[in-house]
Each structure stands twice: as C-alpha cells, then as structure tokens.
C-alpha cells in the first residue's frame, strides 16, 4: 500500500487523514492496516517510532463507524503512552465521526473518568491497573467490546501486569478482534498470542533489536566521579533539546536540583510524580520551554516528542532491550538524532549484553586489552600506572620477606648466645649457694647439729623458736591458756597476748552469745 487513499475505509475517515496530512504510510502501517480491516488478529512487531499507533487506530475507528454498538479497548503500560495514544486517536476523529472517548489512567480524578464512562464512551484507552479498578466498581462494562489492542505488550509483561491483563480478558467476550503490538518479541509474548489470539497474522518490519539507522550512536568512557562534569560539557557542546536517562528517581531529582542551581533549564520525569505534574513537564519540554529532561525508564517507551535531538544514557538500563527503546526517543518519524552513552569500568558486562542483542556476532574484547577514551585498544604498556604500582609493591614485599628472614636468623643466633650465657650464670650461682651453706655451718652453736640440705637448712635458719604459731581466732578462752609442754622443747616460751594491739581491742569485750538485730525501715 503506497497511499492512504487506496485503503478500503469510510470516506469520513479518509477526509480526516487528509486534513492531518497523512498520505504515505510507514511499512508497519502498510502491512497491518489492510489485514486489520479484514478482521484478522494481528501479532505485530516493529522498531520503536515507526508508527504502530496509527497502524491500529485507523482500523479501530473504521470498525466503530461501521458498527454503532461496538466498543474498543486499548491497553498501554504507562500513563504517558496511554495519553499519547488517546491524543493520536482524537486527532483522527473529526466532528462528523462523533465517537466519544474515555482515558482511564492512574493519578487522575476518578469522578472525571466516571463522567466520561457515563456518556457512553466507545473508545476506552487506559492502563491495566485503573481499568481493573473500574471493573471492580462495576463502572466499566466490556461485554460489547469487539476490538482489543494490547500496545507495548512486552513492557506490560515486564512491569508485572500479566495477572491484571488476564483478569481484564475474562470480561471481554470471545467474539472479538485482537491486535497485539510489541517492540520486541520474547517467549512470554508468544505464549500469550497462542492463548488469546485466533490464528494471528504475523507482521514484522525489520529487526526489532536493531536501532533506527538514522540514530548516530556514540560512547564516552569516563570514571564514575567525572560523569557529572562530562555531562555538563556535553550540554555546552550540543544544541537542541536533550533527554538524559538515569537509573533512579532520587538520582533524577538530585540532578535536576543541581542543574537548576547552576542555571540550566531542566526538569525531571519519573514514576513518583502526579499525573498533572507529568503532563506539565512533558508539555513544557515539547513546547521547548525546558531544554533538558532528566528521566527514568518510565519515559523510555512510547514518549513521542519530535523535538528530542539528543539522548544521553547517563546510566545504563537494567535490561538490554531498554537501550533500544531509550535511544528510539530521538530520530522520530524519519528525522535524524544522536545517542551518547557514558561507560564506566563497572558497565562492561551490561554493555557487552547490549552489543550482543544488537549484533549476535559481537565478540567482547579480551579482559587483558582495554580501551582508552578514544575507544582504541591498548595493551599492557608502560603508561599503565596502576599495574606498574602493583608490580613495584609485589617486588618490595618480596624483598621485605627476604630481609625479614635474615633478621630472624640473626635473632636466633643471639638467643643461642643468651642461652650459653645463662647456663654459665646458673652454674656459678650454684657454687655461691654451696659456699654460703658452708659458712652458715661454721656459725658457733651450730657445730653439734646434723648437716642437712640447703632446703632444710633454710627452714631451720628462718625459723624463730620463741615465736608463737601464727593464726587468728575469735575464741576468748584461747588467750588465757598456757602453752602445752609438747609445743616447746626448752619450756622457756614467753606468754603472749593481744592486749597491746589496738586492732583486736574489741574482741575481748565481745559477749559470748550475741545476735544481730534486724532493723526495718518504715515505708512512708
């Protein structure tokens, strides 16, 4: 199909397409629209930004014009994509067609959506979460649904909407036409198509994992601590609007705050913003009021802003497929664009996965060969300061170990000398002891006593015969008692008492029988 005029659609719809200057269809539109008009189920895959929205919107409106009682349901993964799909559908609907619409997304007034549904809106566009809310409230009736569209299905499944999608499909009658569109085609989508699609026609235009050819892709190798400064340099070097992708919501808010302090025109978009705030941010960026938009992956899919000239991947995505969707935000509808990716040493494995997805024959560079800032390989040259420092460190450590071994041997020699010296000293000490014992034996009055060993001599020498056995007692009878005859050899022991000792003065006056009185304090 070369022209929209050749389509077998209603005249009112042809006229509205002419007013919108839609003349030549894209490849996905030329293949999908004729099949959908015939009433066939479609499993369509195409690169992002190739016009999938119009590919299912034209047959949808044509079917509702022909069948006045039919309803259509379009499910999208994010609020932004649902809003864009609704705007695209409204742009085609002219005053003569007269089909009412309802946008069911989170973050917007429930009362407003209930009023839209009450006006018998026949085209319903929404996210799975809010559609389910209306089904539970019984404010939404899908029994007359004849046309079902699942847009960006791979994204919906990644976001965990599978149970909600299956719940919605239970309310849709079996006799309906289903169009499933996706940027990629993983295995779980094939399972869903087998389950819910009736003999679908497979439509694919180009490789889904290859970015658009008009996107100029560049990489910049930086260290983590220098990323922000490099980003500022890129802002100054480039002209036009710039979309920057970061990993986290907090990171997006922090970066915008810093950029605003430095005088840059920037704003952030992520999942924590209210829908009204999201709409204001996107509109200001679309109108050119803000030059820089910092976004998380919530904006990677379906965000159609023709003014985006540059995409910068400040952080790499968590999933390799999201890289293609990110850079697909530029070079929309045949225009040109550029995509720059910051690569740190920690990003090597994810970058290899992305390259494998784009080119199955891609082989990662060996770990020994690294790339410099100009993306050229360099080997183990003398300029590698870190390796040189490590080698020097190892060499110095070996020398220290050798010198430490020598020190240990010298120390052992000194210890051996010490042992010899101490042995000599011990022998001389024994000799001195023997001479001391002999001198003690020559003391007058000791000649009749038996010669004994040093130990026994020591005991005899230090023992005082007139001393009383040491010990303490609190028995008052003991102090008046005479020493027994066996306790002394000469019987000339002096009587000893503790009268003069102040330490035991209270012991003599202590009564024999005494008790401790218990004193109890009265509680007040």
User: pLDDT tens string for the chain (524 positions)?
Assistant: 667 878 888 888 888 888 888 888 888 888 899 999 999 999 988 766 678 888 999 999 999 999 999 999 999 988 888 988 999 899 898 778 889 999 999 888 899 999 999 999 999 999 999 999 999 999 999 999 999 999 988 888 877 888 899 899 999 998 999 999 887 777 778 888 888 898 899 888 755 555 666 788 899 999 999 999 999 999 999 988 999 999 999 999 999 999 999 999 999 998 788 878 888 888 888 888 999 999 998 766 656 677 788 999 999 998 887 888 788 788 766 677 899 999 999 999 999 988 888 877 777 765 544 444 444 444 444 455 556 566 665 556 555 555 555 555 555 555 554 444 444 444 555 565 666 555 555 555 444 444 444 444 444 444 454 555 555 556 665 555 555 544 444 444 555 555 554 444 555 555 556 565 555 555 55
Instruction: Identify the pLDDT of residue 124.
Output: 96
Rounded CA-CA distance 14/217 in Å is 38
- In what side-by-side order are the strands of the sheet with 123-126? 101-104, 123-126, 71-75, 145-150, 177-182, 42-46, 201-205
**Secondary structure in 3-state letters for 76-144:** CCCHHHHHHHHHHHHHHCCCCCCCCEEEECCCCCHHHHHHHHHCCCCEEEECHHHHHHHHHHCCCCCCC
pTM of the model: 0.57
Instruction: Identify the pLDDT of residue 243.
Output: 93
Nearest CA-CA partner of 66 in 99, 112, 101, 108? 99
Instruction: Identify the pLDDT of residue 111.
Output: 92
Instruction: Identify the pLDDT of residue 446.
Output: 47
Domain ranges of the chain: 4-205, 215-378
Q: What is the CATH number of domain 4-205?
A: 3.40.50.300
C-beta separation of 241 from 45 below 8 A? no
DSSP state for residue 503 in the 8-state scheme: G
Q: What is the CATH number of domain 215-378?
A: 3.40.50.300
Give the ranges where 181-301 is alpha helix by DSSP (H).
187-196, 227-237, 249-261, 275-286
Rg (CA), the chain: 48
Instruction: Identify the pLDDT of residue 204.
Output: 81
DSSP state for residue 51 in the 8-state scheme: -
C-beta separation of 356 from 362 below 8 A? yes
β partners of residue 180: 43, 150
């Amino acid at each position: 199909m070369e022209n929209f005029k050749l389509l077998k659609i209603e005249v009112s719809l042809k006229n509205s397409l002419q007013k919108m200057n839609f003349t030549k269809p894209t490849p996905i539109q030329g293949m999908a629209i004729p099949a959908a008009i015939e009433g066939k189920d479609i499993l369509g895959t195409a690169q992002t930004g190739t016009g999938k929205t119009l590919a299912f919107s034209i047959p949808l409106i044509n079917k509702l014009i022909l069948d006045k009682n039919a309803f259509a349901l379009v499910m999208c993964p994010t609020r932004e994509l649902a809003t864009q799909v609704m705007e695209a559908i409204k742009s085609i609907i002219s005053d003569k067609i007269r089909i009412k619409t309802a946008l069911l997304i989170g973050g917007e007034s429930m009362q407003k959506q209930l009023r839209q549904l009450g006006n018998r809106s026949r085209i319903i566009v929404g996210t799975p979460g809010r559609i389910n809310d209306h089904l539970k409230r019984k404010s939404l009736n899908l029994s007359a649904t004849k046309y079902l569209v699942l847009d960006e299905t791979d994204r919906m499944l990644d976001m965990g909407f599978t149970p909600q999608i299956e719940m919605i499909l239970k309310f849709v009658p079996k006799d309906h036409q289903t169009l499933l569109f996706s940027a990629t085609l993983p295995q779980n989508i094939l399972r869903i198509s087998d389950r819910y699609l009736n003999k679908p026609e497979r439509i694919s235009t180009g490789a889904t994992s290859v970015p658009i050819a008009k996107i100029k892709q560049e990489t910049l190798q930086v260290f983590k601590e220098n990323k922000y400064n490099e980003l500022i340099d890129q802002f100054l070097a480039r002209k036009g609007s710039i979309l920057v992708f970061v990993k986290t919501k907090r990171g997006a808010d922090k970066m915008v705050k810093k950029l605003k302090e430095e005088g840059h025109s920037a704003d952030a978009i992520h999942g924590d913003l209210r829908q009204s705030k999201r709409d204001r941010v996107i509109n200001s960026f679309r109108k050119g009021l803000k030059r820089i938009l910092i976004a998380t992956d919530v904006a990677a899919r379906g965000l159609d802003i023709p003014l985006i000239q540059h995409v910068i991947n400040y952080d790499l995505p968590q999933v390799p497929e999201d890289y293609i969707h990110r850079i697909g935000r530029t070079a929309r509808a045949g225009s040109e664009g550029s995509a720059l990716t910051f690569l740190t040493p920690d990003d090597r494995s994810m970058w290899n996965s992305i390259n494998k997805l784009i080119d199955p024959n891609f082989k990662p560079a060996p770990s020994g060969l690294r790339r410099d800032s100009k993306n050229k390989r360099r080997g183990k040259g003398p300029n590698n300061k870190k390796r040189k420092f490590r080698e020097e460190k190892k060499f110095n450590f070996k020398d220290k170990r050798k010198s430490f071994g020598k020190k240990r041997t010298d120390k052992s020699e000194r210890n051996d000398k010490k042992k010899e010296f101490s042995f000599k000293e011990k022998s001389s000490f024994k000799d001195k002891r023997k001479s001391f014992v002999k001198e003690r034996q020559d003391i007058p009055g000791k000649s009749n006593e038996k010669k004994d060993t040093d130990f026994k001599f020591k005991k005899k020498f230090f023992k005082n015969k007139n001393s009383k056995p040491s010990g303490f007692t609190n028995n008052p009878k003991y102090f008046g008692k005479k020493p027994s005859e066996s306790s002394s050899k000469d019987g000339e022991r002096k009587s000893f008492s503790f009268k003069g000792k102040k330490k035991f003065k209270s012991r003599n006056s202590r009564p024999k029988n005494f008790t401790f009185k218990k004193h109890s304090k009265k509680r007040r």
